[in-house]
Amino acid sequence: MTAQATRSGVVGGTSGRATAPSRIRGSWLAMLFWSAASLTAAFVLATEAVTLAGDQEATFGCDINAVVSCGTVGSSWQASVFGFPNAFLGLVTEPVVLTIAAAGLAGVRLPRWMMLTAQVGYTLGLALAYWLLYQAIFHIGAVCPWCLLVTVATTFVFVEMTRINVLEGHLPLPRRARRFAEELIHHRLDLLATAVWLCGVLLLLVTRYGSALLG
Amino acid sequence: MSTRTQPPTPPTRPTRRGTSQPPAARYRVARWVGVGVLVALVVAVIAVVLRDPATTDPAPGAGDGAVVAPSGLGADGSILIGDGPVTVTIYFDYLCPACGAFEEANGETLEQLLEAEDVTVDLRPISFLDRLSEGTEYSTRSANALATVVDSAPDHAWSFHRALYAHQPPEGAEGLTDEQLASIARDVSVPVQVTELFAERRHEAWVAEQTAQAFDSGVTGTPTILVDGEPFTGDPYQPGSLAAVVERAAP
């Protein structure tokens, strides 16, 4: 789990023990940044949801700019899967992730059970984020800028968290799978895969909504 | 993209143990493949965005693009129903759920006001929600169907209008087919010779023109309701809300 395992992720004679903390530091920082971004978006969306609930009449109606409209998305049933606006979930969970990232950045070694719980919780969050994106694109027919920020930020937080958990040896992976994951991370294929994935999502969006998304 | 902290790796390493560790070269190949895919995606995104204005221009339909207005229209393209002293103008899109809610709340009232010859209803079908019908352009097709009925069987226009709302499809689904539109029209006594014309979509360009004009005139959404040219300020989804305003406007 320790010296031997980290060495396998590092090639070219550099000592794994020396470089691992700095590599993870970058991930903690990225996690901090993206969870803050996600929290901001959740805050905006929660505010809108509250406004929308109190002012049905003003927002009901079909707006000509509905391609990128939070009114259309926000008033759909998918916007409150659990009976309350989804953004509230972000308001509750992102501060926890933010705190974990800040602690990690400060050099605190969090216990394995905590990081694993965070990983499981965030994986569910990621699934929800992409289910919502799917619903927005294919069923609601409208997307909103803040919802897209949540999707992107959630993706990055998930990738960085997973990266940390792989490098720290938290994930209960078989030896070979773990080594493979470390190799992928070492060669930055994780970031590349994320970039390819997000570009794919962007391509889907522009194909469906055209430049209305950007303007 | 590449923010490597490690120097380039030599293909072979003296420290390598066992066969479970693949050579670094394989990962470098994977990286180049990944970068290639990434570049291809970025190029595709840019291409789609640049090409976009051409593709979102008036949809290529069966019509040749010529604007064919239905006959018997009022000034500036209004479809006038009835002959009462107070004019109620309604801008709507047949796919818009809010327009359906307005119809549900006030359709019956309008019907009664028409029968009593208290109002003239001025229908303004527009089609800005086409993208919400899975590529079937329901907004345009339904508005075209109404225009066709207005052109050839104007006496049935009002009942067809109401029947379309009674069968309003949800947003984000495929909408009704031309055949379903024709069937709805036949149910309200529109002759078959007229319903057969729906698929020709001959008033499509006119609908697009009306939509552009509506937006130019300051309409920002639907339903937009005017009473004698003045914006209706009541709650459009409250049954009876319109009747009160019409009574006040009546001479």
pLDDT at A87: 87
C-alpha to C-alpha distance for B203 and B209, rounded to whole angstroms: 10
- Nearest residue of A to residue B131 by CA position? A141
- Sign of the Cα torsion B150, B153, B156, B160 reads negative
C-alpha to C-alpha distance for B227 and B229, rounded to whole angstroms: 5
C-alpha to C-alpha distance for B87 and B106, rounded to whole angstroms: 15
In-domain check, residue A15 = no
Extract the tokens encoding B184.
């709805």
By Cβ distance, the residue of A19, A176, A188 closest to B20 is A176
The answer to whether residue A67 scores a pLDDT higher than 70 is: no
pLDDT at B107: 92
More confident of the two residues A6 and A116: A116
In-domain check, residue A148 = yes
Residue A65 in 3-state DSSP? Answer: coil
- The mean per-residue pLDDT over the stretch A36-61 comes to 74
pLDDT at A104: 93
pLDDT at B203: 92
pLDDT at A92: 93
Counted residue by residue, chain A has a size of 215
Burial of B248 (0-12, 13-18, 19+ CB in 10 A): exposed
pLDDT at A32: 96
Residue contacts between A and B (CB atoms, under 8 Å): 119
By Cβ distance, the residue of A19, A199, A210 closest to B41 is A199
- Residue A183: which CATH number? 1.20.1440.130
The answer to whether residue A80 scores a pLDDT higher than 80 is: no
The separation between CA A86 and the C-alpha centre of its own chain, rounded to angstroms, equals 15
pLDDT band at A60 (very low <50, low <70, confident <90, very high): low
The per-residue pLDDT string of chain B (251 residues; one tens digit each, 9 = 90 and over) reads 444 444 444 444 444 444 454 567 888 888 899 999 999 999 998 888 777 554 444 444 444 567 888 888 887 788 999 988 999 999 999 988 888 888 988 999 999 999 999 999 999 999 888 877 777 889 999 999 999 999 999 999 999 999 999 998 877 678 899 999 999 999 999 999 999 999 988 999 999 999 888 888 888 888 889 999 888 888 888 888 888 888 888 77
pLDDT at A16: 42
- Nearest residue of B to residue A138 by CA position? B172
Tell me which chain B residues have a C-beta less than 8 angstroms from the C-beta of A10: 6
Residue A140 is inside which H or E element, if any?
A: none
Q: What is the ipTM of this complex?
A: 0.70
What's the angle, vertex CA B202, arms to CA B201 and CA B206, rounded to 5?
Answer: 105
pLDDT at A8: 41
- Nearest residue of A to residue B211 by CA position? A64
According to DSSP, the β-strands at B86-92 and B119-125 are parallel
According to DSSP, the β-strands at B224-227 and B230-231 are antiparallel
The answer to whether residue A103 scores a pLDDT higher than 80 is: yes
Listed in sequence order, the residues at least 6 apart from B59 whose beta carbon sits closer than 8 Å to its beta carbon are B130, B137, B140, B204
By Cβ distance, the residue of B10, B96, B221 closest to A12 is B10
More confident of the two residues A56 and B182: B182
Closest CA to B249 of B98, B73, B124, B113: B113
CATH architecture assigned to B75-249: 3-Layer(aba) Sandwich (3.40)
Partner B contacted by A55 (CB < 8 A) = no
* Residues within 8 A of B (CB atoms), A 109-148 only: 138-142
pLDDT band at A208 (very low <50, low <70, confident <90, very high): confident
Q: Given an 8 Å threshold on Cβ–Cβ distance, is A196 in contact with B22? A: no
Extract the tokens encoding B243.
């009747």
pLDDT at A142: 67
For chain A, how many structural domains are there in total? Answer: 1
More confident of the two residues A52 and A103: A103
What's the angle, vertex CA B44, arms to CA A207 and CA A154, rounded to 5?
Answer: 70
Tell me which chain B residues have a C-beta less than 8 angstroms from the C-beta of A214: 49
Q: Given an 8 Å threshold on Cβ–Cβ distance, is A211 in contact with B129? A: no
Tell me which chain A residues have a C-beta less than 8 angstroms from the C-beta of B171: 140-141
- CA B215 to each of CA A43, B127, B129: distance values in angstroms, whole numbers, following the listed order: 33, 11, 13
C-alpha to C-alpha distance for B111 and B93, rounded to whole angstroms: 19
Note down the domain range covering A166: 20-52+70-209
Extract the tokens encoding B101.
């809610």
A147-168 residue pLDDT tens: 889 999 999 999 999 999 999 9
Partner A contacted by B35 (CB < 8 A) = yes
C-alpha to C-alpha distance for B104 and A177, rounded to whole angstroms: 60
According to DSSP, the β-strands at B224-227 and B221-222 are unpaired
